[in-house]
């Protein structure tokens, strides 16, 4: 079976929920603490041995390319000032093997994935949506590592899920499950944002996938809904053919595509920071008292 070598990160959305900052700064460059969200996502792939990352960007997103390119003058300055820790921070931004492709018109997620087709061709690929950060700590297995393992053991496409309850089921794609072994679920149907009564299970689809080589071809031949084609339609076909698996991720997920999730991610990751975590905790405890 073909090894997983490529990853696609669609990051070309309009970012309207963050206007006006996204008028000039693309949403993937918004920082959680001191790092743009797009770098957190690229780092999720470090556990997987991916050889090439393809980031789909909107026109005028040169700033994202610049972030991943070399900063020789600044690095020389940090070296001469003996600021080695900061030098290493910069080195880490340069280590990714990234290709960029422009999505000229934001015509939806599946449109963005298709822009990566010249790089991916008919090979399997990891797909990571730029709006979510998934963090694993300590003993937890990184989400992408688990998906890659399942793909390499079975050759089937696999999606990450999380458990949701009550009204939350209507916020996400939802899966039907025909079988479950060692935490790997066989998916037999998909419904997009169902009502509570229509939901097939308590398992919601999140933005991490490993997709087999046939998916790109399927996307090309899907029937459009208006101007858009839907990734969900391709996933539903895979599910009905018995070719789609799912696994519940371990760790924390932050929905950084919206304001509340973005602020939560900043607070929680800042609490883990060696530099400011302790002071922030004291501040938050005082704040909670004042809010009572």
Contact residues for ligand UTP, defined by CB under 6 A: 10-18, 27, 56, 103, 106-109, 111-112, 129-131, 257
- What is the closest distance, in whole angstroms, from the C-beta atom of residue 115 to ligand UTP in the complex? 8
Which residue, 185 or 205, has its beta carbon nearer to ligand UTP?
Answer: 205
- What is the closest distance, in whole angstroms, from the C-beta atom of residue 191 to ligand UTP in the complex? 18
Which residue, 78 or 109, has its beta carbon nearer to ligand UTP?
Answer: 109
Q: Residue 127 belongs to what H/E stretch?
A: strand 125-128
- What is the closest distance, in whole angstroms, from the C-beta atom of residue 56 to ligand UTP in the complex? 5
Which residue, 115 or 185, has its beta carbon nearer to ligand UTP?
Answer: 115
181: CB partners within 8 A, 6+ apart: none
CB-nearest residue to ligand UTP:
13
Long-range contacts of 58-63 (CB under 8 A, 24+ apart): 58/11, 58/12, 58/13, 58/14, 58/26, 58/102, 58/103, 58/106, 59/102, 59/104, 61/11, 61/12, 61/26, 61/28, 61/100, 61/102, 63/25, 63/26, 63/29
Which residue, 26 or 124, has its beta carbon nearer to ligand UTP?
Answer: 26
The position carrying tokens 């399927």 is 218
Which residue, 71 or 106, has its beta carbon nearer to ligand UTP?
Answer: 106
- What is the closest distance, in whole angstroms, from the C-beta atom of residue 39 to ligand UTP in the complex? 14
Q: Which two tokens stand for residue 174?
A: 């939802």
Pairing of strands 98-102, 52-57: parallel
What is the SS3 assignment for 24?
coil
- What is the closest distance, in whole angstroms, from the C-beta atom of residue 9 to ligand UTP in the complex? 8
Q: How many CB atoms lie within 10 A of CB 26?
A: 24
- What is the closest distance, in whole angstroms, from the C-beta atom of residue 253 to ligand UTP in the complex? 14
Which residue, 109 or 244, has its beta carbon nearer to ligand UTP?
Answer: 109
Q: Is 167 exposed, middle or buried, given 0-12, 13-18 or 19+ CB atoms closer than 10 A?
A: exposed
């Amino acid at each position: 079976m073909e090894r997983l070598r490529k990853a696609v990160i669609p990051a070309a959305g309009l970012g309207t929920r963050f206007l006006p900052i996204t008028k000039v700064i693309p949403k993937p460059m918004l920082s959680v603490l001191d790092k743009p969200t797009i770098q957190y996502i690229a780092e999720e792939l470090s556990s997987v041995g991916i050889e090439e990352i393809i980031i789909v960007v909107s026109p005028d997103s040169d700033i994202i390319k610049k972030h991943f390119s070399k900063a020789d003058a600044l690095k020389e300055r940090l070296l001469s000032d003996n600021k080695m820790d900061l030098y290493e921070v910069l080195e880490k931004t340069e280590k990714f093997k990234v290709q960029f492709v422009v999505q000229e018109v934001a015509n939806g997620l599946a449109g963005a994935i298709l822009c990566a087709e010249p790089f991916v061709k008919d090979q399997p690929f990891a797909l990571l949506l730029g709006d979510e950060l998934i963090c694993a700590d300590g003993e937890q297995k990184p989400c992408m590592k688990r998906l890659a393992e399942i793909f390499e053991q079975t050759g089937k496409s696999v999606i990450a899920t999380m458990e949701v309850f009550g009204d939350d089921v209507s916020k996400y794609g939802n899966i039907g499950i025909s079988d479950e072994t060692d935490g790997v679920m066989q998916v037999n149907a998909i419904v997009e944002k169902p009502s509570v009564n229509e939901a097939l299970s308590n398992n919601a689809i999140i933005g991490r996938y490993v997709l087999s080589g046939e998916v790109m071809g399927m996307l090309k031949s899907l029937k459009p809904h208006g101007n858009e084609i839907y990734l969900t339609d391709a996933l539903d076909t895979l599910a009905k053919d018995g070719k789609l698996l799912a696994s519940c991720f371990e760790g924390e997920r932050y929905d950084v595509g919206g304001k509340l999730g973005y602020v939560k991610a900043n607070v929680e990751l800042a609490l883990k920071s060696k530099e400011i975590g302790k002071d922030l905790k004291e501040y938050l405890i005082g704040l909670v008292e004042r809010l009572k």
